[in-house]
Amino acid sequence: MIARMRLAVGVLALAAGVSAQAEPPLPPPYAGAYQPQGVDEQGLWREMDEEERRFAQSDMIIRDPTLQAYVTKVLCDTVGQDRCDATRIYIVRVPMFNASMSPNGLIQVYSGLLLRVHSEAELGAVLGHEFGHFEARHSLERLKAQRSGGDVLAWAGVLASLAPSYDMLRTYRNLQLTIIGSIYRFNRDQEREADGLGISYLNTSALRPQAAAQVWERLMAEFTADARAKGLKKPRFDRIPFYSTHPPEAERATTLALLARPEAATRDDGAARYRAALAPWLPQLLDDQIKLNDFGASEYIIQSLAESGWTAPLWHARGELYRLRGAPRDLVHAAQFYDEAIALDPAHPEAHRGLGLALLKTGQAAAGQKALLRYLELKPDAADAKLIGMMIPKEVPAP
Amino acid sequence: MMSRLIAALAVTLIVALLPSAAMAHKLREQGVAVSIADSPLTVTPGRDWNRLDGNVGKHTETWTLDGGQLNDLTFFAGIEPGKPLVRERSKKREPLPKFGAGTLLVELPELFEATYRTAKQIADFRVTDVQPTRFLGQDGVMFTYEYVDQDQLTRKGEAHAAIVAGRLYMIGFDAPRLHYFERNIGDFHRIVQSARMS
């Protein structure tokens, strides 16, 4: 509560244009093997334990101990070893920007989040936010708030029916809207509080807290790029719709930028370590994104990853993106991108495949077949080897 | 007064019953050749199937034995160039990949994969095998795949496709990897073998 008030003060200060620091204090860590207290928390935890038992068997989970250990390490580096032991991280293969936290300490990290953050500090910012929900017991608070709201509404309904009149009906409907609105506002305030806690963890860690705002700035840029590619109106990031569960992105970016300790701006954000740890998974994550047929967003993600240098997987992904859209001009570009990938990694089989197909479709049969032949040499046991083989006449000499 | 009430009731009943009568699922009987989605594609099922009412797109039909989630046999009967495989929820906001006049046989598995991933918003989809085949008297492609759907169940699938006169004809079969796929893959193969262009 105090934390929320302090944050509210922070936001007010922000509105007034004063760059005051209002870093919320951290709640005490869950001590040892914490046991839920009270009937509500116990019930909530029991339900989530049951859910976790089922979820742990899910086929959507990426079961890579190295990646799992790395993401857990980033969380522990952010919130501290004494706190992070209370949680379990599950990496889920869902191509969207999200992570979620359950009241019993289960953290779901979506693969789409791993693709979109660029450094340990950025990943830590999102994980710290989720961890803030956990330590501040937000699910429990939300359960109570929703229940109280429902109770008030139910009793108001009973009372209103005792004196039925148009005035009463109107008053009841107003109350209904007020309570529904307040539940969503409550949710948004919890998110603001979690943002504040997340940045406090980062501030006290060895990572660079300014990264938190970058995550949101890049996400807004991605949404804008996506809308532009689809010919939609530029999305607004400053409005709070009635049913919105989260504060608007622009507000989050500004608040996080403001709460990050300025003297920590020179800290390492662990971008190189993050790239190295994610490298084995990057081609897969890029493929998952590209095949969503979301040209604007995918192009933006590839470009922003390439800011730290183009690599063969990035060029290949870009080639695939353009070839899948498949307009004649896209195929010409795709062939160039595959060429770039091959220049960096001549033994990249899929780049040769894409190059071959793109060339074939732009009427360059001989060069295309040569590239496909190279693909088959590099990957003779490819799933589509036989079909590709049928596209190459036997007399084509080996390159 | 009474008769008018009865008449009103009767009208209400007829109106209430009409759509359900028109929306009924249809039995596709063993050994009876049927045309798919009013297209030249005909198949002769080797056993009784249920044709589900409603379709996932223009020129498609879905058949099942135990319900769409347990065995889903979908026919794509003559997709025109420039059109997606299944209906788009929103042309503008959530476009699906399109079949094109220049689409190669080897790209059909990719088109199918991208359509599944986009329409279902899933990431775990693997094409496990791609083989050349003869389908509808033409050179075609046969491919198998495996994916984890939003219900977190792993499904296996197989599809046979060919491009006839510039249009895409494809029959796909999806079923849970556990039990259902193996049980009915033979029935699916019989349908594929019976497929003809009339």
3-class state of residue A9 by DSSP: helix
What is d(CA A345, CA A342) in angstroms, rounded to the nearest whole number? Answer: 5
Residues of A in contact with B88 (CB under 8 A): none
What is d(CA A112, CA A125) in angstroms, rounded to the nearest whole number? Answer: 15
pLDDT, tens digit only, all 198 positions of chain B: 456 656 666 666 555 555 444 457 889 999 999 999 999 999 999 999 999 988 888 899 999 999 999 999 999 999 999 999 999 999 888 999 999 988 999 999 999 999 999 999 898 999 999 999 999 999 999 999 999 998 889 999 999 999 999 999 999 999 999 999 999 999 999 999 999 998
Question: In this structure, how many other beta carbons lie within 10 angstroms of the beta carbon of residue A204?
Answer: 17
For residue B176, the distance in angstroms to the closest alpha carbon of chain A comes to 12
Interface predicted TM-score (ipTM) of this complex, two decimals: 0.83
The one-letter code for the residue type at A45 is W
Inspect the interface and report whether the beta carbons of B118 and A291 lie closer than 8 Å: yes
Q: What is the chain A residue with the closest CA to B154?
A: A59
CB B160 within 8 A of CB B192: yes
Using alpha carbons, select from A206, A275, A215 the residue that is nearest to residue A249. Answer: A215
Residues of B in contact with A292 (CB under 8 A): 114, 117-118, 121
CB A102 within 8 A of CB A151: no
Which residue of A292, A383, A388 is in closest CB contact with B118?
A292
Inspect the interface and report whether the beta carbons of B127 and A288 lie closer than 8 Å: no
Which residue of B96, B105, B129 is in closest CB contact with A383?
B129
Residues in chain B: 198
CB-side neighbour CA atoms (13 Å) of B53? 8
What is d(CA B58, CA B87) in angstroms, rounded to the nearest whole number? Answer: 7
- CB contact B11 to A (< 8 Å): no
- CB contact A292 to B (< 8 Å): yes
- CB contact A233 to B (< 8 Å): no
Q: Per-residue pLDDT tens for A185-218?
A: 999 999 999 999 999 999 999 999 999 999 999 9
CB A202 within 8 A of CB A132: no
Q: What is the chain A residue with the closest CA to B146?
A: A59
Interface contacts A/B by beta carbons within 8 Å: 81
pLDDT-above-70 percentage for chain A: 92
**CATH architecture type of domain B25-197:** 3-Layer(aba) Sandwich (3.40)
Q: What is the chain A residue with the closest CA to B153?
A: A59
Inspect the interface and report whether the beta carbons of B130 and A387 lie closer than 8 Å: yes
Q: At what angle do helices A271-278 and A120-135 cross, to 10 degrees?
A: 90
Whole-Å CA distances, A221 to A217, A296, A319: 6, 10, 22
pLDDT category at A163 given cuts 50, 70, 90 is confident
Interface probe, candidates B88, B90, B99, B122, chain A, greatest A C-beta count within 10 A: B122
Using alpha carbons, select from A130, A101, A108, A98 the residue that is nearest to residue A58. Answer: A108
Using alpha carbons, select from A284, A304, A340 the residue that is nearest to residue A118. Answer: A304
Q: What is the DSSP string of A353-396?
A: HHHHHHHHHTT-HHHHHHHHHHHHHH-TT-TTHHHHHHTS-TTP
pLDDT category at A6 given cuts 50, 70, 90 is very low
Q: What is the DSSP string of A47-106?
A: HHHHHHHHHTT-TTB---HHHHHHHHHHHHHHH-HHHHTT-EEEEE--SSS-EEE-TTSE
Residues in chain A: 399
Which residue of A59, A231, A387 is in closest CB contact with B154?
A59
- CB contact B164 to A (< 8 Å): no
CB A131 within 8 A of CB A100: no
Residues of A in contact with B109 (CB under 8 A): 384
Domains of chain A: residue spans and CATH: 4-29+46-147+166-270 (no CATH), 272-389 (1.25.40.10)
Token reading at A285 = 């994550």
Which pTM was predicted? Answer: 0.86
Considering chain A, what is the average pLDDT of its residues? 90
Residues of B in contact with A93 (CB under 8 A): 123-124, 148
Which residue of B109, B113, B123 is in closest CB contact with A95?
B123
**A338-342 — which CB contacts under 8 Å span 24+ positions?**
A340/A310, A340/A315, A341/A312, A341/A313, A341/A315, A341/A316, A342/A312
CB B71 within 8 A of CB B180: yes
Token reading at B114 = 């991208």
